[in-house]
Amino acid sequence: MSAPPPETPPHTLRGIQEMLGLSRSAVSRLIANGFVNPSRGPRNEYRFSFRDVVLLRTAHKLQLADIPTRRIVRALQRLKATLPAELPLSGLRITAVGSTVAVHERGSRWEAESGQLLMDFEVAPTAGSVAFVERGPAEDPALVLTSADALFAQAEALEASDQAAAERTYRKLLDASPDHADGYLNLGAMLCESGRDDEAVALYDAALARCPDVALLHFNRAVALEDLGRYQEALLSYDRCLVLEPGIGDAHFNAARLHDHLGDKQRAIRHFSAYRRLQDK
């Protein structure tokens, strides 16, 4: 018995343009440079997989950050030479840091065009990435502080210079104030960024026992579960996040990416459509 023909990827060039707002010429340049490799449909038209959508969305986000198209193409072209043949489902983030295209990859951050390591810049909320609470002005870490808010500010201030001390301070905060959702969020994000995903999931489980209705806790837990390869559990956490906060577009996007990876194209397209509607608002 002959094998069934491969399934045609679901997205057309026109659909990609409508979803992401990328011009036809920008998509064509990405194809020409070999970073996105769409297949051909029955009429020889381009057809894009969901992985292609993820890559094109990255380019779109960089354009919104005022990175010139030529720099995006150059950065993605270099990335193609350094990444594995199959992009990892998680553990890799591509963001703009000023005018630089930066790659975040488990424990290291490097500049996409030059390959040079980047140090000491803020982690930005991105699709597939855990979310930190927005930072306020830095406090003097040498101050001896006791209140929950003061301990939180002290832990934040320590993150850039002494992560071990920051972790100890967050844990001191949570021992004193076990309902402090922002403390769980930032400590869990730190654990994920250092590759300690098992510990992060355990922390988020403890947090949700205390703060079950905080949508970002469910979102961050889902990201940590993704990094552990526990995709079905991650989807349940994304679903709970969206019940609590339907407007978190990255939860829709990440859920769509996971459903596509697991072969559920219908749910993938449904979540991606919800993401697109939120982007159009």
Q: What's domain 11-111's architecture?
A: Orthogonal Bundle (1.10)
Looking at mean pLDDT, say which of 12-21, 100-109, 120-129, 163-172 comes out highest. Answer: 163-172
Count of C-beta atoms within a 10 Å radius of residue 231: 17
CA atoms of 111 and 78, how far apart (whole Å): 10
Distances in Å between the Cα of 229 and the Cα atoms of 184, 198, 235, 270 are 22, 11, 11, 22
* Lowest-pLDDT choice from 29-38, 82-91, 125-134, 224-233: 125-134
128 vs 213: which has the higher pLDDT: 213
133 vs 237: which has the higher pLDDT: 237
Q: Domain extents for the chain?
A: 11-111, 148-280
CA atoms of 123 and 265, how far apart (whole Å): 31
Q: How confident is the model at residue 107 (pLDDT cuts 50, 70, 90)?
A: low
141 vs 185: which has the higher pLDDT: 185
3-state helix/strand/coil string of 135-202: CCCCCCCCCCCCCHHHHHHHHHHHHCCCHHHHHHHHHHHHHHCCCCHHHHHHHHHHHHHCCCHHHHHH
CATH superfamily, region 148-280: Tetratricopeptide repeat domain (1.25.40.10)
- Tell me the per-residue pLDDT of 43-70, one tens digit each, with 9 for 90 and over: 767 888 777 777 777 777 777 777 776 7
Please report, for the chain, how many H helices and E strands are present, in that order.
12, 6
Q: What is the pLDDT of residue 241?
A: 94
Q: What single-letter amino acid sits at 39?
A: S
* Lowest-pLDDT choice from 16-30, 113-127, 155-169, 207-221: 113-127
- Tell me the per-residue pLDDT of 212-232, one tens digit each, with 9 for 90 and over: 999 999 999 998 999 899 999
Residue 21 confidence (pLDDT) above 80: no
25, two tokens: 């010429």
Q: What is the pLDDT of residue 32?
A: 67
pTM (two decimals): 0.60
CA atoms of 136 and 157, how far apart (whole Å): 9
Cα 96–chain centre separation: 13
Cα 161–chain centre separation: 24
Three-state SS for 85?
coil
- Tell me the per-residue pLDDT of 132-171, one tens digit each, with 9 for 90 and over: 444 444 444 333 334 777 888 888 888 878 889 999 999 9
* Lowest-pLDDT choice from 159-163, 205-209, 231-235: 159-163
- All residues at 6 or more sequence positions from 260 whose CB lies less than 8 Å from its CB, including other chains: 49, 50, 51, 268
Average pLDDT score over the chain = 75
Q: How confident is the model at residue 261 (pLDDT cuts 50, 70, 90)?
A: confident
Mean pLDDT of 176-192: 90
267, two tokens: 């749910």
CA atoms of 274 and 278, how far apart (whole Å): 6
Q: What is the pLDDT of residue 174?
A: 94
